[in-house]
Chains A and B, each alone.
Chain A
Amino acid sequence: MTAVPVASKQVGVRWNPRRYFGGMWRHPVARAILKAALTIWVTTTVTFFLIRLMPGSPVELKIDELIQSSNGSISYEDARAIASSLFAIDLSAPLYEQYLSFMWSLLHLDVGKSFLSSGTSVTSIILAVLPWTLFSVGTGLLLSFVVGIGLGLLAAYRRNSLLDRVVSTGGSLVSSVPNYLIAIMLILFLGVQARLVNFTAMRGAYTSGMQPGLYPAFIGDVLFHAAMPITIYFLTQLGHWILSMRSATLSALEEDYVTAARARGLSDGRIRTAYVGRNAVLPLVTQLAISVGFIVGGAAIIEQIFAYQGVGLRLLDSVRQRDYPVIQGIVLLTTISVVVANLAADLLYSKLDPRIGRAGGAGG
Chain B
Amino acid sequence: MSTAILARPTVAQRLASPLLGAVEFLRMLSRRPVGLAGFLGIVFFLLLAFVAPLFVPFQNDPSLLDIYLTPSLAHPLGTDFQGKDVLNQIVFGGRDILTVAIIAAFLSTLIAITFGSIAAVVGGRLDTIIVAITDITLTIPKLILLIAIAAILRPTSFVFLAVILALLQWSSLLRQVRAQVLSLKERDYVEAARSLDLGLFHIVFREILPTMRSYIAIHFILAMTEAMYAQIGIILLGLVPISGSNWGIMLYFAQGQGALFYRDSLWYILSPILAISLVQLSLATFASALEDIFNPRLRGS
Measuring CB to CB, which residues of chain A are less than 8 angstroms from any residue of chain B? 1-2, 35, 38-39, 42-43, 50, 54, 57-58, 156, 159-160, 169, 172-173, 175-178, 180-181, 184-185, 187-188, 192-193, 246-247, 250-251, 289-290, 293-294, 296-298, 300-301, 304-305, 312, 315-316, 319, 322, 324, 327-328, 330-331, 334-335, 338-339, 342, 364
A sample of 24 cross-chain residue pairs with beta-carbon separation below 8 angstroms, ordered by A number, consists of A1-B124, A39-B140, A50-B152, A57-B152, A172-B284, A177-B277, A177-B280, A178-B233, A178-B277, A181-B277, A187-B260, A192-B262, A246-B300, A250-B300, A250-B301, A290-B172, A297-B145, A298-B233, A301-B143, A301-B236, A319-B151, A330-B144, A334-B141, A335-B139
B245: Cβ under 8 A from any A Cβ: no
Also in contact, A35 and B135, with CB within 8 A (given A2-B124, A50-B152, A176-B280)? yes
Binds A, one of B13-21, B48-56, B109-117, B263-271: B263-271
Given A172-B284, A177-B280; 8 other pairs, CB 8 A cutoff: A58-B152, A175-B284, A185-B270, A192-B263, A192-B266, A300-B143, A304-B237, A319-B239
A297 touches B300 (CB 8 A): no
Question: Which partner residue on chain A sits nearest B136 by CB separation?
Answer: A39
Contact A54 B125 (CB under 8 A): no
Whether A316 contacts B269 by the Cβ 8 Å rule is no
Q: Is the CB of B285 within 8 A of A172?
A: yes
Whether B136 lies near A38 (C-beta < 8 A) is yes
Within 8 A of A (CB), among B149-195: 149, 151-152, 172
**Chain B interface (Cβ < 8 Å from any Cβ of A):** 34, 124-125, 131-132, 135-136, 138-149, 151-152, 172, 225, 228-229, 232-233, 236-237, 239, 251, 255, 260-263, 266, 269-270, 273, 276-277, 280-281, 283-285, 288, 298-301
* Set of chain B residues within 8 Å of A181, measured between Cβ atoms: 273, 276-277
Identify which of B140, B269, B270 contacts A293 (C-beta below 8 A).
Answer: B140
A193 to B267, CA, bound (A): 12
Given A39-B136, A159-B300, also A294-B142 (CB < 8 A): yes
Cβ–Cβ < 8 Å partners of A192 in chain B: 260-263, 266
Decide yes or no: A300 and B144 within 8 Å by CB, A250-B300, A364-B131 being known contacts. yes
In contact, A176 and B225 (Cβ under 8 angstroms): yes
Q: Which residues of A contact B141 (CB under 8 A)?
A: 293-294, 296-297, 334-335, 338
Q: How would you classify the secondary structure of chain B's contact residues: helix, strand, loop or mixed?
A: helix
Question: How far is the CB of A334 from the nearest CB of chain B, in Å?
Answer: 5
Inter-chain contact A298/B136, CB cutoff 8 Å: no
Q: In this complex, what residue of B is CB-closest to A200? A: B261
- A-B pairs under 8 A by CB, number: 147
Given A177-B280, A178-B229: A315 and B285 interface contact (C-beta under 8 Å): no
Rounded to whole Å, the gap between the CB of B235 and the closest CB of chain A is: 10
CB pair B300 A43 closer than 8 Å: no
Contacts of A301 in B (CB 8 A): 143, 233, 236-237
Given contacts A50-B152, A173-B281, A319-B151, contact A39 B139 (CB under 8 A): yes
What residues of B have a CB within 8 angstroms of the CB of A178 in the complex? 228-229, 232-233, 276-277, 280
A298: nearest chain-B partner, CB-CB: B143
Find out whether the CB atom of A177 lies under 8 angstroms from the CB atom of B263: no
Q: Which residue of A lies closest to B124 (CB)?
A: A1
Best-buried of A2, A175, A181, A296 by chain B (most CB within 10 Å)? A181
A331 lies within 8 A of B269 (CB): no
Complex Cα–Cα for A358 and B285 (A): 40
**Minimum CB–CB distance for B38 against chain A, Å:** 10
Instruction: Tell me the bound Cα distance from A247 to B283 in angstroms.
Output: 20
Name the residue on A nearest B154 (C-beta): A56
A342–B276 CB distance below 8 A: no
* Given A184-B269, A301-B233, A319-B239: A290 and B300 interface contact (C-beta under 8 Å): no
Q: Within the complex, what minimum Cβ distance (angstroms) separates A340 from chain B?
A: 10
Contacting residues, chain B, for A38 (C-beta < 8 A): 132, 136
CA distance A35 to B266 in the complex (A): 48
Q: Can you name the residue of chain A whose Cβ is closest to the Cβ of B281? A: A176
Contacting residue for A297 out of B142, B261, B285, CB 8 A: B142
